[in-house]
Structure formats: C-alpha cells, structure tokens
Amino acid sequence: MNLKEYNKKAFEQLLKIKFIMLFLFSLHANAQIQRVEPPFWYAGMHNHEVQILFYGKNIAENEVAVSNAISIKAIQKTENPNYLFVTIDTKNVSAQDILFSFSKNKKVTFTKKYALKQRKENSASRKSYDASDMIYLIMPDRFANGNPKNDSEKMLAEKADRNNPSGRHGGDIEGIIQNLDYIKELGATALWPTPLCEDNDPQGSYHGYGQSDVYRIDPRYGTNEDYLRLAAELHKRDMKLIMDYVTNHWGTAHWMINDLPTYDWIHQFPGYAQTNYRMTTQFDPNASKIDAKMCMDGWFVKSMPDLNQSNPLVLNYLIQNAIWWIEYADLDGFRVDTYSYNNKEGIAKWTKAITEEYPNFNIAGEVWMHDQAQMAYWQKDSKLAAIQNYNSYLPSVMDFTLMETLANVFKENQSAWDKGIINVYDNFTNDFLYPNPNSIMTFVENHDTQRFNEIYKKGFKKYQMAMALIATVRGIPQLYYGSEIGMAGNKNEGDGAIRLDFPGGWKGDTHSAFTKSGRTAAEQQFFDFTAKLFQWRKENEAVHFGKMTHYIPENNVYVYFRFTDKKTVMVVVNNGLTTRNIETKRFQENIKDFKSGKDVLSGKLIDLKSEFMIEAQSVLLLELE
C-alpha cells in the first residue's frame, strides 16, 4: 500500500470514527434532551435573536457552545436544573443546520443539531384578514369526523364519547378539509377553528383552551402536517386561516406544569386562586391593587394555570411560539382568547412583537365587555388608553355590545325612546371611541354565547335582519358554524348544547346539511339566504371600507347607507310588526341623484323618487342605481 492509499484509508477510518462518535452523541443527546422549543427556527427574521429552551435531566450542569460562527448572546439558567435557555443571534445567517455542543469539564458529552430554515418568500408582508373578509368559526371536534381512526389516542387521557355532550366527538382536521368547499360556498373567506393544539385534560378537552403542548396539534385532530395541509387547501381556495391563540393560560396537563422552569412561570398564591373576572380593574383609576391583581393573575378556572407574562422567559416563549406557528403553518391571522385577562403590559409587548415582525398581521382580541369605551380601550392607538400611557397594539377587538344588542332587539317590536331598533343605532353612535371601527369583529353569536336561533326560536325573518346588519355595517363579520342552517341549542343546558355536531359530519348521521340534497327545507332556506348575502358581500367594496351614514330610526325602522365614490348601498331594516311607507325625501343626503335601488335579496327594483314600502320584520339591501 503506497502512502497515498494509506492516507486515504486513514481518512476514511477517521470519518467512520467521527460518524460513530456523532451517532453516540446523538443517542446520548436523545437521552439527555427531552425537549427543544422552538423545535427549529427561521433565518432572516426581523428580530434575529431566538431563545431556545433545552429541557432534560440536569441539563443546566452543562456548558453550551454552537457551531458555524453563530453568536450566543446569553445563556440563562433557572432554579430548575432541568432547563437551559440559550439565546443565539441569527443576523446575516443563512438557512442551515447548526450544532449545539454540551460539555462538562471542557469535554463534550453530547450534541444537538438545530435547523434554521428558509422563510417563505414575502413572509413578513403577508396579507391578513380585514373588513373585506367573512370569518367562519367552527369547533373542530363538533364539525366533521373525516378520520374516525384518530377519535381516541392511547397516550391522551380523554377518549371519544359522542353520547357525552361535554366529551370528545371525533371531529378533526380531515373533516374540515373535506368540507372547505361548503364553507366557501357560504361566502366565507377566512376560517377560525377553536384551538387545535394538544389538550390533555381528562375531561372537556374538546374545546382546546387548556393546552398541554403548544407546538403539537392534538393527535385526535390530526398531525402538524395535517394542519399545514389545511392552510394550503384554504390558500388554494383564496381563503385564510386564523389560529385561535391562548396567551393567558395553559391546561394543568401541560408538560411544564409539573416541572416548572421557574416558580413564577405561572401565578401562584401559592397554588390556585381564581380570577374575579372584573376586567374593568385594568383601567379603573379607582380600582384597588388587590382587585386588579386578582383579575390579571387569578386563574380563569382551576384547570387552567395562569401564565405570568411579566416573567421575561414566559413572555419570550409565547412570542416565539406565536411567530413559529405563523411561519410554520403560513397563518393569516390570530384571534386571541381572554385577551384582557393577561398581564396588561406583557400582552402589549407580545402583540407589538408580532405586528412588528408582520406589519399587516391582524389579531382580534377577545375583550368581552359591555361598554364601547371599555372595549375601545384595548384597540391599538386608543386615545382612551393613551390617557394612562398605555397602548395594547391590538389591531382588532370583538363587538360584544352589538352582539348583546342583537340578542334582544328583535323582541322589541314596538319602538320607544330606548326600545327597539334604536339600540342598534346607538351602538354605532359610539364608534368615535374606536381608533379603527373597520377592524372590529362583528357577530350575532359564537362558541361561548347563547345561540341566536335559540333566542328567536329559529325565526327566519329575525335571522335575516340580524345577518343583513352584520354583513353591511362596519367591521369584520364572523359567522358561527350551524347558524346558516338554523342550528339552535340552549346554553342553559350546558356548553355542549351550543356546540352540537354539524349534521352530516359523521358517518351514519340521519341527514347531511353539507349538501343541498341532504338539507331539510328549513335548513335550505337559511343556507340559501346566508350564501346569497355573503357571496354578494364578497364583491362589494362599499360594505367593506365605505363610509357610513345612518338615520335615527322612526317607527322601529332603521335606515343607513354604506358608500364610496363609486358605489352606494342603502339598508332598510323594519323591526316593526306592520308594513311601513318609507318616504325618500329625508334621505336625500345619501340618495342624491340615484333614481332606484335594486334589492340584493329579491332582485326587485325599488323606485326612490318619492316613497316605497317595506314589509314587517324584513330588510331591504338596495344597490343604488
């Protein structure tokens, strides 16, 4: 053997030894490292520092180094030796695999490969949902069971039991994907499923708000790859995916709860104390400190430990998790649960960090309050909040006052100073409080409220009036699954009653409301109206971002206009029990030179020269010509 061949053989042997050593290191790492979060990251982020959580038995005893000239900015250890938080700087670093080395006494004991992945093109400038969209809200467990094989999961506590109103029924991501064309046919352009991440609570886990792993889709819904497929299928249909994100709390089964990184990772009293639910304490200048603390720091319920966003490690974890999902699943927006229960300063930093990374990204916060000023306080750039030197940076809030008004107004058939449709008018008189009224989410019901069709006993005319309002006033309309087929259910019988299985979503259902041939006559009536309304809305810029002028209701009839320079829509809602004459002279400010209006719903042409009739308990949507 000559020297050249010898060197070649020696080099090959060294490579084999190196490979074996790396393999052994990786085996050791797998034993030593139980979790890495985020599991990977992305190159080219606006905030180029990422804090990586390494979890494993006594992992903090190790020193850490990283390959490829990556800079370690900080290594943070806590009182729990099973955690290491390592912050690296990815500025000007291309997508690649890097290697973390863990060592004791200057000797490497194991390594861990970590991927920096390539971002999608124009990821930072992604377009989010806005007032041109209609959002369809579903509870995935109750929508459709596309894959019965994943109804139960051996490693997760709660098994499927469709006979239990509070149990898991088997709806999943595959069921959603199979029915996306149905959702699109309704005129929906965005989908909001309630949380899909793993929730390992022993009971009631179907709603998903007590999450046990925020980097993993619950196997009873599918896999992470299924969630990516859902996003891709929506995008193929020019539709958007909104993630229901929970910053305020996790579930007691979350993997960290029994081995907290720090004692103050969650709020402790010590242990459990429940919130007082008094969100007004967050801005009330007269509130006691203890009341404000119990609102923010108290647990929402006993099974949901309250996260401490004032702890920088917790806050950074939540920011990175949210950004990871946006990049990984190509998300189009967030809805944030229990927004105003969070640490006030912490949630503002969380929201600001996300919207700085994605300037067009919309986030709607659940601020369930009963006064417009109190809700407006939480919207980005609120002048009300500025009085207290506060800015939530939250682009969108949910219009709970309008929802509550619509739940009562159609019972008030006789008008009075403070009764009847005047209450809808009054809701909009307070729009001056909102920094951006167009970015408010409007709805008649959601997964936590009484069903609209239960309140009004499936009264189709009342449904028409309410939905026409939601479709034509300012803001982003949201439709809760089943409304469009007249689905009812009494919340007083438990949450399961307002979260019923969608008919036809399960093999063996008596009928399917997903198809025209499967719907009952009543279901078809609701569906046809809803689809016609929101398909029309899709293409009408006047009701997306147009200005609004409304007129004080007379005889329980409300008239308003949405208009741009190119288009005008006149809406007439008669909440009374008798047919009414509408004299057009009063509305000349908006009618101007228009001669007629074509009713979107009936196709009839209405002469606007002097007066026209509107039937009792009905609505006219007139495109002026």
Residue 32 and residue 125: Cα distance in Å, rounded?
Answer: 39
Whole-angstrom Cα distance, residue 409 to residue 353? 40
Q: In this predicted structure, what is the pLDDT of residue 18?
A: 46
237 has a pLDDT exceeding 90: yes
- In this prediction, residue 22 carries a pLDDT of 46
| Span 511-521, average pLDDT | 98
Pairing label, strands 49-55, 35-37? antiparallel
Neighbours of 224 (CB within 10 A): 16
**% of the chain residues with pLDDT over 70:** 95
Q: What is the pLDDT of residues 431-456, one digit of tens each?
A: 999 999 999 999 999 999 999 999 99
Q: Residue 356 and residue 348: Cα distance in Å, rounded? A: 12
Cα 447 from chain centroid? 12
Instruction: Indicate if the pLDDT at residue 47 is higher than 70.
Output: yes
Cα separation of 588 and 605, whole Å? 18
CA atoms 281, 284, 287, 293: torsion sign:
positive
Residue 589, amino acid: E
Token pair recorded at residue 287 = 């509130």
Residue 14 confidence (pLDDT)? 47
Which residues are CB-contacts of 27 (< 8 A; sequence separation ≥ 6)? none
Confidence of residue 3 (pLDDT cuts 50, 70, 90): very low
Residue 320: closest CA among 45, 46, 50, 44: 50
Reported as a pLDDT band with limits 50, 70 and 90, residue 13 is low
Q: Would the pLDDT of 350 be above 50?
A: yes
DSSP H or E run through 175: helix 173-178
Q: Does residue 534 sit in helix, strand or coil?
A: helix
d(CA 367, CA 378): 8
pLDDT in tens, 203-236: 999 999 999 999 999 999 999 999 999 999 999 9
d(CA 341, CA 347): 9
What sign does the dihedral 196-202-206-210 (CA atoms) show?
negative
How many whole angstroms separate alpha carbon 13 and alpha carbon 564?
A: 76
Cα 460 to its chain centre, rounded Å, is: 29
Q: For residue 370, what pLDDT is reported?
A: 96
Q: What is the 3-state secondary structure (H, E, C) of 215-276?
A: EEECCCCCCHHHHHHHHHHHHHCCCEEEEEEECCECCCCCCCHHHCCCHHHECCCCCCCECC
- With cut-offs at 50, 70 and 90, classify the pLDDT of residue 35: very high
Q: pTM of the prediction?
A: 0.94
Q: Residue 289: its pLDDT value, please? A: 97
Residue 436 — φ and ψ, nearest 5°? -145, 85
Angle CA 129–398–361, to nearest 5: 30
Task: Please tell me which residue, 424 or 417, carries the higher pLDDT value.
Answer: 424
Helix-then-strand count for the chain, H and E: 16, 26
| pLDDT surpasses 70 at 94 | yes
Q: Is 34 a residue whose pLDDT tops 80? A: yes
Q: What is the pLDDT of residue 142?
A: 98
Q: Kindly give the interhelix angle for 400-409 and 422-429, rounded to the nearest 10 degrees.
A: 170
Phi, psi values for residue 185, rounded to 5°: -60, -30
Structure confidence at residue 2 (pLDDT): 56
Share of the chain above pLDDT 90, in %: 93
Residue 28 pLDDT more than 80?
no
pLDDT of 69:
80
Question: In a 3-state reduction of DSSP, which class is residue 372?
Answer: helix
Which residue bears the tokens 């290491």?
A: 84
Residue 149's pLDDT is what?
98
pLDDT score recorded for residue 5:
57
**Residue-level length of the chain:** 625
Amino acid code (one letter) for 243 = M
Query: Which domains occur in the chain, in start order?
Result: 26-119 (2.60.40.10), 131-539 (3.20.20.80), 546-624 (2.60.40.1180)
For residue 79, what are the contacts with CB-CB under 8 A and spacing of at least 6? 262, 263
Average pLDDT over the chain reads: 95
Amino acid, res. 603: G
Sign of CA dihedral 508, 512, 514, 517: positive
Does a cis peptide bond (omega within 30 degrees of 0) precede residue 270? yes
For position 27, what pLDDT does the model report? 47
Q: How confident is the model at residue 8 (pLDDT cuts 50, 70, 90)?
A: low
Query: What integer is the mean pLDDT of 174-189?
Result: 98
Predicted local confidence at residue 30, as pLDDT:
54
C-beta pairs of 419-425 under 8 Å, 24+ apart in sequence: 420/553, 420/556, 420/575, 420/576, 421/553, 421/556, 421/557, 421/558, 421/573, 421/575, 422/552, 422/553, 424/469, 424/553, 424/558, 424/573, 425/550, 425/552, 425/553, 425/558
Q: How far is CA 313 from the centre of its chain?
A: 24
89 CB contacts (<8 Å, ≥6 apart)?
A: 48, 49, 70, 71, 72, 73
Mean pLDDT across 591-606: 97
3-state secondary structure of 168: strand
> 3-state class of 625 per DSSP?
coil
Q: How many CB atoms are closer than 10 A to CB 611?
A: 12
Alpha carbons 149 and 162: distance in angstroms, whole number: 14
- What sign does the dihedral 340-345-348-349 (CA atoms) show? negative
Which are the catalytic amino acids? 337, 366
Question: Which residues touch 352 (CB under 8 Å, ≥6 apart)?
Answer: 393
What is the token pair recorded at 259? 């081995």
Instruction: Answer for the pair 169, 160: CB distance below 8 angstroms, yes or no.
Output: yes
Q: What is the pLDDT of residues 139-157, one digit of tens each?
A: 999 999 999 999 999 999 9
